[in-house]
Amino acid sequence: MVTRYIGAPVRRVEDLRLITGNGRYTDDIGIGTGVLEVAFVRSPHAHADIGEIDVTRALDVPGVIAIYTHEDLEGAAAEPLPVLIPHPSMHAPRTGYALAKDVVHHVGEPIAMVVAESRSLAEDAAALIDVEYRQLPAVVGIPAARAADHAVHRDIPDNIAAHLVQQVGDVDAGMDAAPHRLSFDLTIERSCSMPLEGKAVHARWDPDDRSLRVYSSTQTATSVRAASSGAA
């Protein structure tokens, strides 16, 4: 089927809908249904221990339904997030928590989640949550990570999550017989997509058939399904 598109232009079919204002986004799904919205308190530090999290002032904001930190999570929801693509070469894979536990490892890591009747109310309440931090040395860039003067994760002192060697044939014999040798470091750039909609999730519980329907602006729908079912 797909071979017919090789060397041929592929006509886009979604443009008319989008440029005429008829695109449907996550925010459009819950209009008029009494949907609740959330805002997160995120770390301003690249690496820090988390001390006390004081939500007292935020609880007094009208329209706030609930506030969650890691200690409020239970079961699989309190465990580290699953590795998206496991591989045998990964001897020390690390993922974050849904809400940070004890320490943050990057700027923007979520620490607390506020649920409110509107996004603006949730953001107002989030701004009133006080978090104590004890800053730790940040590891910035591949050279610093390889030098391992500081560890990103305390239990991985060398900062190496995986070691993979790929070879075909007798590499040692080939290298010994090679008239020239070249050693180099290969740097892969950081890629970034530009979506029409940022990361967003709309979840709706149906009490009649006891099912949960989740809309997620992601290209990994099957991974979201697997992670959601594992946390259920």
What is the arithmetic mean of pLDDT over 72-95? 91
CA separation for the pair 40, 67 (Å, rounded): 10
Q: Is the dihedral of CA 44, 46, 52, 58 positive or negative?
A: positive
Taking residues 85-96, report their average pLDDT. 93
**Of how many residues is the chain composed?**
232
Q: Are 90 and 162 within 8 A, CB to CB?
A: yes
All structural domains of the chain, each given as residue ranges with its CATH number in brackets, are 32-166 (3.90.1170.50), 198-232 (no CATH)
Tokens in use for 20? 């005429």
Q: What pTM was estimated for this model as a whole?
A: 0.81
The answer to whether 114 and 129 have CB atoms below 8 angstroms apart is yes
- Give me the pLDDT at residue 197, please: 78
Confidence of residue 23 (pLDDT cuts 50, 70, 90): confident
What confidence score (pLDDT) does residue 1 get?
Answer: 54
- Taking residues 147-156, report their average pLDDT: 96
Q: Is there a contact between 122 and 64 (Cβ–Cβ < 8 Å)? A: yes
pLDDT of residue 231: 57
Q: Does 152 or 7 have the greater pLDDT score?
A: 152
Cβ–Cβ under 8 Å, residues 215 and 29: yes
- Tell me the mean pLDDT in the region 63-91: 93
Instruction: Name the token pair of 17.
Output: 């809908």
Percent of the chain's residues with pLDDT above 70 = 98
Span 158-172, pLDDT tens digits: 999 999 989 999 999
